[in-house]
């Protein structure tokens, strides 16, 4: 009676198969030495040792990536590994396009260069600055450049036109629901600019970097003052979000690889060897192993929060009939899979990480 009770090959295969690729909303923060990934609770996890003075988030067609700028530009993969992308760099970066193919624009304080998908740099404009952002007030996309004293608006040819006398050290383009606005931080206050460049005081929350993001409860403006991050709502009201200081931030999505069908084999007298494959998409950094009581399919609890990135693990089943789940991990957990009715299984009663299941990017 022990052998069939310990293996449960049919149950294990069923509950561990077909976990889809998921993306976890992440706020990436660079403090000059490292990049940290923050979840919706403000919890910070080291993502990469690639420090820099600027970051951008963009997709050249093979999936979104985080780009880190300094004297040169590096690109980070889904595990945070850094690769030199271009010898051209700068402490202001923006990813976007003018209605055609997107480019990564870098500003070294004296000029703007456009980087293509291969990292090749082309001079775009002689408009130097300390911050840049793409935005569209309804007449087409423009690249806005702030030199600390004034803001200039660049068109697709790189031609620069004065937009506003509102200087600052960081800018972000966003919409709280009443139309697009350009937000400028001068280190002490935040100003909201409309399509004419007219500036209105928005908040007294100073900082050195800003980003718009949405963790699922509506857009928020995140401001980093070098020591802490504050979350601002549409009224400019500021709430402490995290103690993760930094000099640049981007909001993005962190891909979690899918887990394919679990293969179960015996490993000794009592143990089981669980093996699985990454089905599609970017690989997970690690995997969580969950065990539940067969017949009570929402009873799973964390058995092991990490396999050292290995795609197999040996477990010693608890007494009685059991089922197992393998859940992809990054700064958050991916999907636990779906039940026979197509509904997402709930998170474990004791979980490894915060659960993040936005809309699936692949079937």
**Distance of alpha carbon 353 from alpha carbon 342, whole angstroms:** 23
Give the tokens for residue 331.
């700064």
Domain 26-254 has CATH 2.120.10.30: yes
**Domains 2-21+260-329 and 26-254 alike in fold:** no
Would the pTM count as exceeding 0.75? no
Name the 3-class secondary structure at 207.
coil
Q: Do the beta carbons of residue 294 and residue 321 sit within 8 Å?
A: yes
Q: Which of 3.10.450, 2.60.40, 2.40.50, 3.30.70 is the CATH number of 2-21+260-329?
A: 2.60.40
At a CB cut-off of 8 Å and minimum separation 6, what does 328 contact? Answer: 19, 22, 256, 257, 258, 259, 284, 287, 334, 335
Listed in sequence order, the DSSP H helices in the chain are: 2-7, 9-15
pLDDT at residue 172 in the model:
93
Where exactly are the structural domains of the chain? 2-21+260-329, 26-254
pLDDT in tens, the chain (363 residues): 222 222 222 223 223 222 222 345 789 999 999 999 888 889 998 989 999 999 998 888 776 789 999 999 999 887 788 999 999 999 999 988 886 678 999 999 999 999 999 999 999 999 999 999 988 887 788 999 999 999 999 999 999 999 999 999 999 988 887 778 999 999 999 999 999 999 999 999 999 999 988 777 778 999 999 999 999 999 999 999 999 999 999 987 654 444 555 666 666 667 777 777 664 444 566 788 888 876 676 788 899 888 777 777 888 888 776 778 888 877 777 777 766 566 777 888 888 888 775 443 333
**Distance of alpha carbon 346 from alpha carbon 348, whole angstroms:** 6
Please count the other Cβ atoms lying within 10 Å of the Cβ belonging to residue 159.
Answer: 11
Sheet strands (E) in 108-219:
112-115, 121-125, 131-135, 142-146, 151-154, 160-164, 170-175, 180-185, 190-193, 199-203, 209-213
pLDDT at residue 148 in the model:
95
pLDDT at residue 278 in the model:
60
């Amino acid at each position: 009676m022990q052998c069939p009770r310990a293996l449960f090959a049919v149950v294990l295969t069923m509950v561990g198969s077909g976990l889809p690729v998921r993306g976890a909303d992440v706020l990436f923060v660079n403090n000059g030495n490292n990049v940290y990934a923050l979840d919706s609770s403000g919890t910070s996890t080291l993502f990469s040792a690639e420090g820099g003075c600027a970051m951008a988030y963009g997709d050249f067609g093979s999936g979104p990536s985080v780009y880190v700028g300094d004297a040169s530009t590096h690109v980070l993969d889904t595990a945070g590994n850094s690769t030199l992308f271009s010898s051209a760099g700068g402490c202001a970066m923006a990813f976007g396009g003018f209605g055609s193919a997107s480019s990564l624009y870098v500003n070294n304080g004296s000029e703007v260069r456009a980087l293509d998908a291969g990292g090749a740099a082309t001079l775009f404009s002689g408009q130097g600055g300390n911050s840049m952002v793409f935005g569209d007030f309804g007449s087409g996309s423009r690249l806005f450049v702030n030199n600390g004293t004034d803001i200039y608006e660049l068109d697709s040819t790189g031609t620069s036109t004065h937009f506003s006398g509102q200087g600052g050290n960081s800018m972000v383009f966003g919409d709280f629901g009443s139309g697009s606005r350009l937000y400028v931080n001068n280190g002490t206050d935040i100003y909201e600019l409309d399509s004419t460049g007219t500036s209105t005081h928005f908040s007294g929350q100073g900082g050195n970097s800003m980003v718009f993001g949405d963790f699922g409860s509506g857009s928020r403006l995140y401001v980093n003052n070098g020591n802490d991050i504050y979350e601002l709502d549409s009224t400019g009201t500021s709430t402490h979000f995290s103690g993760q200081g930094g000099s640049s931030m981007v909001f993005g999505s962190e891909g979690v690889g899918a887990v394919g069908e679990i293969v179960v084999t015996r490993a000794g007298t009592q143990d089981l060897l669980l093996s699985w494959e990454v089905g599609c998409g970017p690989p997970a950094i690690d995997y969580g192993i969950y065990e539940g009581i067969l017949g009570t399919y929402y009873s799973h609890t964390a058995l092991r929060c990490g396999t050292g990135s290995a795609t197999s693990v040996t477990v010693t089943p608890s007494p009685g009939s059991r089922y197992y789940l393998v859940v992809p991990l990054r700064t958050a957990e991916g999907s636990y899979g779906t039940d026979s009715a197509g509904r997402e299984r709930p998170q474990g009663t004791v979980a490894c990480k915060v659960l993040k299941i936005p809309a699936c990017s692949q079937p």
